[in-house]
Every structure is written in structure tokens, then in C-alpha cells.
Amino acid sequence: MFSARQRGIEIPVSIAPGADSRLVVELLTKAAAAHPLVAEKPAPQVLLSEIAAPSLNFKLRVWTKHFDKTNRISTELAIAVSETLAENNIAVPQVSPNPVL
């Protein structure tokens, strides 16, 4: 199943509390599966890794045999995730800007 050329990629995703966790898992899985360079086996996996104020933290895990393109794939997945969340009105936590010193 795994080869020496296959690499794992993990994308952290934080969601505002109150979001439908099951929907988030479904959306992230679909976004990953739609990427042409993401391996079908093992299938993309989404884990709820932490419930912490002010967010629910997920990890999107995928594999690719295109080990030389992992940075590109990571970026494209992050963009797809961001667009998918926005299209489905799933909020991300609000971060306070750093105070100006």
C-alpha cells in the first residue's frame, strides 16, 4: 500500500465552536478527495484532534505519491478547505490582532 515515494500531508483546520462537526468532516474529506494528486488509498482522513476555546481543531490527513509536490499540494488543499468552509458558511475562530507596541 505504501511506497518509499509516498508521503503524508497534514493540514490543521480550526473551526469556530457551534459548527456541525460531522459536516466539517464530510466537507474536508470531499475537498481532499477532489484533489488530483491526493492518493485514493489510503483515503483522506479527518480527525477532530482538540476541543479548545475558541475552536474545534481538526487535522486533514492525506497521502500522495507525488512526494516532490507536497508543498504545492498542501497549499492547494488549504485553499480548497478555506473556500469550502466559506461556501458552507462555516466560521473559523476570530483571532485578536497583536497589540501594537
Q: Taking 90 as the threshold, does the pLDDT of residue 12 lie above it?
A: yes
Q: Which residues lie across from 7 on neighbouring strands? A: 64
Q: Which of 61, 60, 73 is nearest to 15 (CA)?
A: 60
Phi-psi group of 49: left, alpha or beta (phi > 0 → left; psi -120 to 50 → alpha; rest → beta):
alpha
The second-level CATH assignment, the architecture, of 7-87 is 2-Layer Sandwich (3.30)
Distances (CA, A) of 35 to 49, 62, 70: 23, 10, 12
Q: How far apart are CA 57 and CA 25, in angstroms?
A: 11
Is residue 72 predicted with pLDDT exceeding 60?
Answer: yes
pTM (2 d.p.): 0.85
Q: How far apart are CA 16 and CA 32, in angstroms?
A: 21
Per-residue pLDDT of 23-55, as tens digits, reads 999 999 999 999 999 999 999 999 999 998 889
**Residue 18: predicted pLDDT:** 87
In terms of average pLDDT, the best of 2-11, 17-26, 92-101 is 17-26
93: preceding bond cis by omega (within 30 degrees): no
Chain position carrying cell 459536516: 23
Lowest model confidence (mean pLDDT) among 66-70, 76-80, 97-101: 97-101
